[in-house]
Structure 1
Amino acid sequence: MSRELSELYRSLAEDADGRTLALPEELRGRADRRARRRITGTALGTALLVGGLATGTGLVLAEERGPVAPPAAVEPPSSVPAAPTASTPPAATAGPVVPTGGTPRATGTPAAAGSTRAAPPRAPGRVPDRAFFVQAASNRTGIEPSFRDTDALPALCDARYRSDAGIVQRRTRNLAYKLPQTPQGYVPDGSYAHTVTLYRPGRADEFLRELRAAVRGCPTQPGVGGGNASTSRLRLLADAGFGDGSVLFEIRTPARDIDGNPTGGGEVRLIRAIRVDDVVTVLWEQGWEGTSSPRSQVDADSRRAVAAIEDWLR
């Protein structure tokens, strides 16, 4: 035996002596595990092959039968409407919706910059002099009207007006008048406390309601009628055709002479409150030296008062 071969055997022997041989049970376990992995891999490959064949067969049959209809949509119960998603904006329409009558419905689109639409009227903030009417030439006495801080109405028992909280401004003037047939330079036939009050929206109509209730609640009252101590009787009168609404009432008091003795006659005072929008004008006819209020003259001046306010608010 050659020297090289002897050294090779010796090297193999040394290497074999340094290794521990596995027991027979361990060798059989390793062989069993390799066999199981081989069987599992074979079964998995077979399953994949069968699945592929089934899928291909299904596709071929589907092409022969035609397209398969999609499943029918299931509507939600009518009692539970679908809630819209808050983050999804509504779909824009292609154009304005036209109702049955054929007139396009307003879409809410703001007017263009060059629009000629008139600006809304500005609400007044004060009562100017021009809100008070100008007397007819035949009624002027030569006594100039004067603005005074005085009552707009006579006291009506214990009436209070909640609408006073809505007053923006109130102005009152006193003016005398004569009847057309009275010659110039004679004593006036009567006088007014003429008031114009500007209210916040909605409070003017409230005042008229309160005034009606106050007159109904005060049918008699002592000492009303320009210093006459006799008991006065108050009552509402039918009224229409003035502004947006009006209240007319009278105060009737037995007439007395300068000594306080009854004369058998009576003094009649007419008070009319007229609403025009958020403004109320009051004509309180106060007479002159015991004269009574002529209804025709009060009506004529009431129409002038309404026209003045309408011109102011226009």
Structure 2
Amino acid sequence: MSRELTRLYGALAVDTDERVLPAPDRVRRRADRRARQRAAVGALAVAALVAGTVAGAQLVLAAGPDAEPAPATTTDSPSPSPTPTAPSPPPSHTSPAPSARTPEAPPKTSARPPDPGPTSIPDRAFFTLAAANDTGIGDEFIPGPVLPALCGARPGEAGTVTRRARSLAFKLTGTPKGYVPDGSYRHSITVYRPGRADEALAELRETVRDCPEQPVPDASGMTQRQRLLGDSGYGDESVLFETRTLSRDVNGDPTGGDEVHLVRAIRSGDVVTVVWEQGWEGTSTERARFDADSRRAVEAIRRWLA
């Protein structure tokens, strides 16, 4: 032991109480023992750490690549326990109850019922002859057929509301008054229920097409022929056809020609007017005069329905 250490121990003994201090060599041995204990504890700690690392690696390798790593634990706060999941209810095979819905109210419409049309036909609904064609005889509203005989058929009778017909004689322009008329009309107006007037014209076309000829009533051996003619420009639609028989003189002898008469049915909405030229004592229809009076008939209907 050095002199300096011996001096320090001596000074320490003077300042302390009368407790007996250990000798310097004893103190040194105690210090050496403590150092060896600390070294041993450190070596043990290192060995334990290495052993734990090796064991963990072996567990990971043994678990395989699909194994999930163990959750890390901490001492600060415990891991929360998982919340239990309620089991799903078994599937139901019953249909779900339909949701209650308030029935929708039907839409309000301001549409008025269809107009039934006129139920009577005034005199002003019939056309007036041009002054140059007026015989002065006037017209006569009398019952009777409104179409020529067509193999016993009566087209256009269904769906009628009301009808009026008249007979009217006329003269050609230039014929002096007092002479016999040059021709005559059977002019009728029929009001149909809504939607039935076009059916009446379709039925008339079919009837004329299905009746190309027929015996002339009360005329022994005579034949009347019918055929449809092209027509347009009158009312909403029109049907034009002719009747043709052998022409005869006042004695009943053939003249070598034909007596031809025209019939035109014109629809304006639910109203049909028929202009049937019947001749006078064997005369035939003059087409220009007939077309002009057909237009006058359409105009009269238009003014009446306006």
Q: TM-score range by the shorter chain?
A: 0.5 to 0.7
Q: Which of residues 150, 153, 159 is equivalent to 1:159?
A: 153
CA displacement, residues 94-140 of structure 1 (integer Å, 9 cap, x when unaligned) = xxxxxxxxxxxxx96869xxxxxxxx977211111111011111110
The whole-number CA distance in structure 1 between the counterparts of 2:230 and 2:236 is 15
TM-score w.r.t. the length of structure 2 is 0.63
**Match of 1:296, SS?**
helix
Residue of structure 1 aligned with 2:207, choices 196, 210, 214: 214
**RMSD (Å) for aligned C-alpha atoms:** 2.9
Determine helix, strand or coil for the equivalent of 1:157: coil
TM-score w.r.t. the length of structure 1 is 0.61
In the superposition, relative to structure 1, how do residues 88 and 213 fare at CA in structure 2: closer, same or farther (>3 Å)? closer
The answer to whether the 8 A contact 2:141-2:166 is kept is yes
Q: 3-state DSSP class of the match of 1:236? A: strand
In the aligned structure 1, how far is the partner of 2:220 from the partner of 2:257?
Answer: 13
Q: Which residue in the other structure is 1:135 paired with?
A: 129
| Other-structure match for 2:167 | 174
- Given candidates 191, 198, 203, the residue that maps to 2:191 is 198
1:278 aligns with 2:293: no
CA contact (8 A) 2:116 2:194 kept: no
177-186 or 138-147, which deviates more:
177-186
Q: What secondary structure does 2:289 align onto?
A: helix
CA gap 1:217/1:83 in 2 versus in 1, 3 angstroms = farther
Please give the alpha-carbon distance, in whole angstroms, between the structure 1 residues aligned to 2:293 and 2:220. Answer: 26
Counterpart residue identity of residue 246, structure 1: S
Q: How far apart are residue 86 of structure 1 and its match? A: 4.0
| Equivalent residue, structure 2, for 1:312 | 304
DSSP 3-state at the match of 1:142:
strand
Q: 1:251 aligns with which of 243, 258, 261?
A: 243
Find the residue that maps to 2:299 and give its secondary structure: helix
Query: Structure 1 residues 89, 165: closer, same or farther in 2, change over 3 A?
Result: closer
Find the aligned partners of 1:110 and 1:222 in 2 and give their Cα distance. Answer: 56
Shift of residue 184, structure 1, vs aligned partner: 2.2
Give 1:180-191 correspondences, 5 Å limit: 180-191=173-184
Tell me which amino acid in the other structure corresponds to 1:87: T
How far apart, CA to CA, are the structure 2 residues paired with 1:220 and 1:88?
Answer: 63
- Deviations along 1:172-206, one digit per CA (max 9) or x if unpaired, are 10000111121222211100000000110111111
Q: Which residue of 1 aligns with 2:119?
A: 125
Structure 2 unaligned runs (5+)? 1-79, 81-96
Structure 1 counterpart of 2:250, which letter?
I
The letter of the residue matching 1:123 is G
Helix, strand or coil: the match of 2:135? coil
The number of equivalent residue pairs is 211
Secondary structure at the residue paired with 2:137?
coil
Task: For 2:298 and 2:221, locate their aligned partners in 1 and report how far apart those are by CA, in whole Å.
Answer: 34
How is 1:1-314 mapped onto 2 (pairs within 5 angstroms)? 85-87=100-102, 123-161=117-155, 163-223=156-216, 230-314=222-306
The change in CA–CA distance for 1:131 and 1:229 in structure 2 (over 3 A counts) is: farther
Q: Is the 8 A contact 2:163 2:191 kept in 1?
A: yes
Contact 2:158 2:200 (C-alpha < 8 Å) held by counterparts: no
Please give the alpha-carbon distance, in whole angstroms, between the structure 1 residues aligned to 2:224 and 2:265: 20
